[in-house]
A and B are shown apart, each in its own frame.
Chain A
Amino acid sequence: MRKSKMLMRAAAIALGALLGATALFAQSNITVTGTVTDAEKEPLVGVSVLQKGTANGVSTDFEGNFSITVPEGSTIEISSIGFETRTLKATSSRMNVILLEDSEMLNETVVVGYGVQKKESVTSAITQVRADEIAATKTADGVAALQGKIPGLQVTQNNGKPGAFASDLSLRGFGTPMIVVDGVVRSTTRTRKSTTWNQDPTQLETYTDISVLQELNPDDIESISVLKDASATIYGLGAQNGVILITTKKGQVKKPSVNFSANFQMASPVFPRDVEDWVSFMKWENAMSDVSKMDRRFSAEQIAGYESGDPDYVYTDWYKETYKDFAFNQQYNVSLQGGTEAINYYFGAGYADDSPILKASNYGYKRYNFTGSMNIKLTDDLNLRYSTTFRQSNNLGMGDYDMDWNIFYYILASDPTVGVHTKDNPLHYSNVEEQMNPVALLDADAMGYTKTDSKDFNNTVDLNYTAPFLKGLRFQASGAYDFARTKQRTLVKKLQLYDYESDTATQAMLTRAETQYSELWNDNTRLYGRIQALYDKRFGKHNVSAMIGAELTDVLNASINGSRYYGPTKNQYLYTHDIINQGLKSRSDNSGTRSSQRTAGYIGRINYDYQGKYLVELMGRYDGNYQFAPGKRWGFFPSYSLGWRASEEKFIKDLIPFLNNLKFRWSDGRTGSVQGNPYAYINGYTASGSWVFTDGATTTGYANSSVANTILTWADVRMMDFGIDWELWQGKFGGTFDWFKREMIGTAAQRNTSLPDFYAVSIPYENLNRSENQGLELTLYHRNSIGNFSYRVQGTATFTRSRSTYMESENSRVYTSSMDYWKNCSLNRWNGYFGGSTYHWSGQRFTSIADAMGSEVLYTMDGSSDGNRAIVPGMYQLVDRNGDGYITDADVYYTWGNSMPPLQFGLNISGSYKNFDFALIFNGAALKYKGYSLSGYAGFGKLNYLPSQYTDSYRVAVEGADPWNPETQWIEGYWPALARVAQAGASHHATYTVNQPYNYANASYLRLKTIELGYRFSPKALQMAGIKSARVFFNGGNLLTFCSKTLKYVDPEANDNSTAGGMYPLNKTFSFGFNLNF
């Protein structure tokens, strides 16, 4: 506390000094009066009318009138957010000023931490995007809507499952940023059912919830600001990954206007299915068997039978049985905005419905958003604003999480010669393969479901008091009460399968083998309070603003989970209803948790500029977090940034007259990254062992198994950024360049020392490790209009990497060879650089069996004894780099990794011509590779399908010829000869495991994320119907992807290496919709 008192005293003194410096200037004046309206002659209220270069200004009243006294001949600047600023020479005659709407309006002011700044005086790396840019992408996922729009914000969509929001979000490669909505940190830690593979359905996990951004209605967003450097540190502990500031729409002083929009969307997989038909597959399968020296799977009669369409030979197309042609999604929004100066408001309601591409009754997502904001002028000086958002979302998923992954495998694996239902009973699902039936998996009645019902209610109150006694001084008090409840109901049913031919009962579906129902209720509450004093004042050429504040946040989380089985044993069950009470009481399980988090902080910031040329910002935050031991909870985190607007210098203006803006920025700040378990400083006891002290009663034991950790605290984070912003020829060429670096010092690690067993607990974590991120960010834009055609092109690129600069665990590591070190040591190694490995290839292929058998080097790389015997024509000859005569692991060669690509880029093109408007948003990544074994899973040789691309492979010239006869002629192709899986349990043929040019693909891609074409009807034509404006649009999502042609089945964007394409496909979408404004 002592520290914070000192901080306050210092701030008070600084404030006092500033006030004391106030001076007055005397002039010979005239009074100027006038009215400000918009293009439609509607009066504009609250427009700033300012004597340029001074603090002398007034606002327009409700009729748009103003009156200002200024020195004769001075310049008056008339500005309002959302309109182009006009400057006029002061004359005594009445002025009627028309302000035109400015589509670039938010370029003028930028939402920053705890306030708003003029863009020109911003000294940090902050990007702001406008509402219409966000809304251009039609998706229910608020994070996906940001993709490609914000330089440095890497969004990777991993799958297209409705309501999954499987987007990875990382700012500058740091990690998931903090989410702040209307001034309150609203990302938080929550509990849900474990989604990990093969987990018990009652198992819970905690995760960082960013649903407040993901599930926000994009139509309710006014703007999004992303703080990417030290400017984020003002949000205190936890802001080390940057901050996304979301401002929702608020009331405006204008006539009430109603907006209605509707969007109808058709979605289908990005890459259409392109596989060989069943008959062709059978022939290929036999050819593959020949190559693998295995018995052919299909007889000539069978092939002929299926070919001739003999009714005895019917087959099931599992893809058609499970996939729809397209999924239909819809979104509707309606909003009302308007009001007077005394009271104005915004109300919005939205509905989104995403349906699955699978013919599934256990997938789907529905969401309802309600937003309201009211601004009330309580007195001349006191303003109250109340904003609320309410969200209700219903998410439907499979009862058994494992099946989420399995379904895609079984769609591919299932045998087409078996039907969905048994031959004799259309109600009986047949046992297709491995106790599975893909159609049954998608049937909620048969298999169960997971229904997630989330309610999220956020309330924010801001009280603004403009001090009448001192110009420029304001006080603000803000509070928030958020309440969220998630109910998750999971039913896993046991399903009896039947033999396809005989209709006799076989085993049950191989999911969780017993019928179980469980419910998880999760309750989250956030209470937040903040008070602030703000001061803005211009003293001649000196411009000063200052802010001090204090805030406190409490987050409460509670969950309760219960489940029951429906039978005494696996074999005896009776499913009745999906409610806990109908399960067996004797086979029930329950659990409950409750936890709270609290943070507090004192905030201070001073901005100073001289003539708008030299800019200085000082920030500090004294921050406390409940997690750590007393004495380790509070820390002071200072930051500063500097700016020089070179374009304001006369000599530069003279030198480069077409230079509109040139600014150099530097920021450097500190914050802390919270780590470790809360309350590790308390030596607590947890349940351990049990003992029956007396017959019939078990006593649960308690033990303490860790030492109290009073040492660990947050990791110190330093964020640095050097940036240049420029604009030439009124926006014809503009851009931003940033170099950034983040250092994390003292991330938690255990000291590298071996303690004797007598200590008996693990070594406490300490602040030992260090890491850093570095990168470059570039934005270039071009804005122009030619006649009625105006357009804007913006390209962004971010290159970012991270590495560990100190790892305590490396101290004792022993590397047996330089190869071992190269492979396994990550210290000082940029991540992503050596993530993958591959063999060198000579460029030569084996063109025939004889060629392969005659190879001088021996292939032992897969550890099998097959060696060269498994080499097939078409494979590349690998380079024996160490010259030992064998291709082994020692010959691998390193290349770029395949996780988070270090280089990401975006390209936005938008414009309008007369009543037409358009937008194109591209997103891409480079320096990314994907290694995917040519496996049965990714392509062929095991499952019951063959992607057509693989038919372009080495193959015998005469169908049915023996591939192992050296005399056999081969036809060349892109892929090597296809072979079937040689041994049981394997998913691919031995030789294909080696990374070869054809299965180690460059995953660089460029994807047209969004294309939108709109037409705005002329208002005159519609005024009869009372409609002010109307717009219709076509929107496409993920329509084009430029990438290696081999990546059709393994999406280049998704991080899905482990599932090899077995995931819910990303969708491409076609949308039509309209906006109406009343």
Chain B
Amino acid sequence: MKKIFKYILFAGLSLGMMSCDKFFDSMEGDLSKVAAEDLLSSENGLLALLADLYSALPGESLSDNDKYQMFGNPARDIPEYKSTVQGFWGYGSVRSVNKFLEAVDACYNDNLFDEAAMKAYKGEGLFIRACYYFGNVRTHGGIPIVTESLDDKYDGQDNIGLYIPRSTEKDTWDWVLEQFQEAADLLPDKQTQEMRATRYTALAMKARAALWAASESKYWNRAPINNTYDAVKKKLTYMEASYADAYYTQAIAASEEIINSGRFSLYGGTAPTDIATAISNLTELFQNWHAEEGLFGRSYKTGDANTGNNTHTWAPNQFTSGYTGTGTASYAVTLNLADEYDYYSDATARTRAGRKIQTLVDGNEDLYFTQPETEMTAAKVADYKHYASVQEPFLLKDARFQAWVIYPGTTFRGGTVYMEGGMVMPDGSVSVYPAENTGVTKNGVTYYPYGGANEDNSAFYKLKVDVNSNNRSFYCFTPRKSLDQKDDNENTQTPYYDIRYAEVLLTYAEAVIESGQGDAAKAKQYLNDIRHRAGFKDNVDLTLDNVLHEWKVEFPFENKWTNVLHRRRAFYNPNNTATVEEGSLGHKLTLIPMVDLSGAEARWIFLRSLPYSATPAFKNYNGTLQVNAEDYYTQIPNYINNRIEPNNK
């Protein structure tokens, strides 16, 4: 009742005493949104804005595009080869970061924080914006550079201020590199929170971008794009060899500064006592964030046990209890990648000794089956190298292979991984991919064609019980990096490294060998540092081949190799006379490990083969059999409304 009278009184007073808009100004306002003033008046508010900006970064996170090059797809798909570099068109995020930068300026002008804080925030904003544009330029070529929010440019009429032309590709690269440098100059050397950019993050990203621009320029003619296209004529999608050296210079300078700062090192050191230590270091690196090696990355330790990255589904069927339906073992690893890893000569000397896994007695490892069920015969068993155990061929492989790849017979999460695909019977007959997993006992031990007694084998997709599921892989290798090594955890919270110190070292090495600039001795040392961390004791020469080899074996499942091929314009292209070795690819192969029970003791042989049911074909996303020059650029979205030139037209 009292309230009612208050309201009547209020209505009465309001008749003549209040200005009209004030009626509404005293209200609580819109509680579903947060006002800019509230966000900008505190450190945490600015962090909230930054959280949104960071989360939009075009990092590939854990969806690994390298699968198109080095992994097999576990499903019955045709192996694909295509250019799948992560692009970026998010002008919505660009608007957000521009508004953030404007807000930082406004706050500084209002004395909300001191100059040091202003610089740090601004540097972070510039860094993020440069990352957005780096993601953009690498797939779209030269693009419109928007450096302010355009909210007030909409006038309902011609909206002239909203139309921004494309810069040339070179200008865009130059601008991106300048922005990274500007960000580096504003950012602090160290942040209290690990997952925020520092001066060295910006420099590392600059080195990466500079190497990209440099390689693209140097190797432009490997895939020259049709020069009748408008975008080429206007140099919007155009680089040339003469640009390369200046970019290499920048890549060398930026990476050198990081190296010389002495703040970073390879986790585990460059002189592990034995192979086991090397494996254990390399495993641990991807279990928890290690700041000495990580310049920038993403943490999945969210504080909420119900979230995580999606590496859970990478694990083989055998170790994903409750998830034996579709979706486990999302990625398999090809024999092609396994063959890339060097062998140690032996466990003590640990010098480089060959790469390909030896399967045949005569050493001819170029042969493989296309229909192993029929092509493999009893007569051929004798041609095969017989191993005493299924894991024997892998035990002297590069520690990185052993740490990061699950191979037949390996121990994982306290169990043995079964990945076998057939059997040589005691009578000498051969059975590849049998329909039933029937055990045969020899010398008191029962052996199974698929390795394990139960249906929980991890490869191969051939058992009768699997016909309508995707429980198993077509390959005998799966990734191990980033997996929870102990438990089957749906919400695995292992970190993701976007830039590791190893990349900085390798960037330096590549820039030196490609440009002849810089210090070749140091470059060689950095290249070998990476190998030494993996247990090798010898030194290899600073050659392009050796550098490219390290890109493959050091960074699998980190989305680097596709990028290397893209920036070096080296994707497989049979019509391109400039095609080089780094991009040429054969069919994706697997090994089929089989137990041979025809002798006195059980022995294992390994068949090289196309994966089961895969039709060998090269196929890119246009359906043609090659990656064309045009494929290095994706189409400009919405180019008509944007009133800018399209690509490839």
Q: Which A residues contact B (CB, under 8 angstroms)?
A: 1, 4-5, 8, 459, 461, 463, 477-481, 527-531, 550-552, 554, 593-596, 598, 600, 602, 624, 626, 630-631, 633-634, 678-679, 682-686, 688-705, 707-708, 751, 753-761, 763-764, 766
Contact = CB atoms under 8 A, between A and B. Distances in A.
21 contacts: A1-B20, A463-B8, A479-B5, A481-B7, A527-B3, A527-B7, A529-B8, A550-B12, A593-B31, A594-B28, A595-B28, A595-B30, A595-B32, A598-B23, A686-B32, A689-B55, A692-B301, A695-B194, A704-B36, A705-B92, A760-B95
Q: Among the interface residues A4, A459, A530, A688, which one has the most CB atoms of the partner chain B within 10 A?
A: A688
Contacts of A550: 11-12, 14-15
A707 B149 CA distance: 10
Contacts of A626: 23-24, 27
Contacts of B195: 691-694
B287 interface: no
A1 B153 contact: no
A554 B307 CA distance: 42
B33 to A, nearest CB: 3
Contacts of B323: none
Interface residues of B, number: 80
A477 B19 CA distance: 21
B346 interface: no
Nearest to B28: A596
B91 A695 contact: no
B9 interface: yes
B54 to A, nearest CB: 4
Contacts of B154: 707, 755, 759, 763-764
Contact of B301 (A531, A696, A766): A696
Interface of B: 1, 3-5, 7-12, 14-16, 18-21, 23-25, 27-36, 39, 44-45, 47-56, 89, 91-92, 94-96, 99, 144, 146, 150-151, 153-154, 156, 159, 162-164, 192-196, 289, 298-304, 307, 637-638, 641-643
B35 A481 contact: no
Contacts of B638: 756-757
Contacts, number: 244
Contact of A755 (B3, B19, B192, B641): B641
Contacts of A693: 47, 51, 193-196
Contacts of B307: 698
Nearest to A461: B4
Nearest to A678: B30
Contact of A630 (B21, B55, B164): B21
Contacts of B94: 758, 760
Contacts of A1: 18-20
Contact of B20 (A4, A678, A692): A4
Contacts of A634: 20-21
Given A461-B1, A685-B35, A479 B7 contact: yes
Given A702-B34, A755-B154, A761 B95 contact: yes
B21 A689 contact: no
Given A552-B11, A757-B91, A701 B51 contact: yes
Nearest to B643: A756
Given A8-B16, A596-B27, A695-B301, A760 B10 contact: no
A735 B21 CA distance: 47
Nearest to A701: B52
A598 B27 CA distance: 8
Contacts of A682: 29-30, 33, 35
B160 to A, nearest CB: 11
B99 A479 contact: no
B144 A758 contact: yes
Contacts of B162: 755-756, 758-759
Q: Among the interface residues B11, B21, B28, which one has the most CB atoms of the partner chain A within 10 A?
A: B11
Contact of A688 (B52, B99, B289): B52
Contacts of B637: 757
A29 to B, nearest CB: 42
Contacts of B299: 692, 694-695
B265 to A, nearest CB: 20
Contacts of B48: 685, 699-702
Nearest to A550: B15
A465 B194 CA distance: 72
Contacts of A755: 154, 159, 162, 641
Closest CB pairs A-B (n = 8):
A684-B33, A701-B52, A689-B55, A529-B11, A529-B7, A679-B30, A701-B51, A479-B4
Given A682-B30, A763-B154, A692 B302 contact: yes
Contact of B641 (A8, A554, A594, A756): A756
B156 A702 contact: no
Contacts of A529: 4, 7-12
Given A598-B24, A692-B302, A700-B48, A756 B163 contact: yes
A698 B153 CA distance: 35
B155 to A, nearest CB: 11
A1 B12 CA distance: 15
A623 B146 CA distance: 42
Nearest to B10: A529
Contacts of B92: 705, 760-761
A477 B32 contact: no
A758 B36 CA distance: 21
Contact of B33 (A686, A692, A758): A686
Contacts of B21: 630-631, 633-634
Contact of A459 (B4, B18, B91): B4
Given A1-B20, A694-B195, A702-B39, A758 B14 contact: no
A691 B49 CA distance: 10
A584 to B, nearest CB: 12
B196 to A, nearest CB: 6
Given A477-B8, A701-B49, A552 B14 contact: yes
A781 B644 CA distance: 70
B20 A758 contact: no
A700 B303 CA distance: 12
Contacts of B289: 695
Nearest to A708: B151
A529 B35 CA distance: 31
Contacts of B144: 758
A527 B5 CA distance: 10
B30 A684 contact: yes
Contacts of A684: 30, 32-36
B151 A707 contact: yes
Contacts of B45: 702
A531 B12 CA distance: 6
Contacts of A707: 151, 154
Nearest to A554: B7
A756 B33 contact: no
Given A4-B20, A696-B303, A481 B96 contact: no
A668 B424 CA distance: 97
Nearest to B56: A689
B33 A689 contact: no
B192 to A, nearest CB: 8
A761 to B, nearest CB: 7
Given A531-B15, A691-B52, 11 more contacts: A529-B11, A690-B55, A694-B192, A701-B49, A702-B48, A757-B89, A757-B91, A757-B641, A758-B162, A758-B163, A760-B95
A624 B15 contact: no
A8 B15 contact: yes
A703 B302 CA distance: 20
A703 B52 contact: yes
Contacts of B95: 758-761
B54 A691 contact: yes
A598 B18 CA distance: 15
A672 B294 CA distance: 60
A529 to B, nearest CB: 3
Nearest to A587: B306
A528 B7 contact: yes
Given A593-B32, A686-B32, A689-B52, A600 B194 contact: no
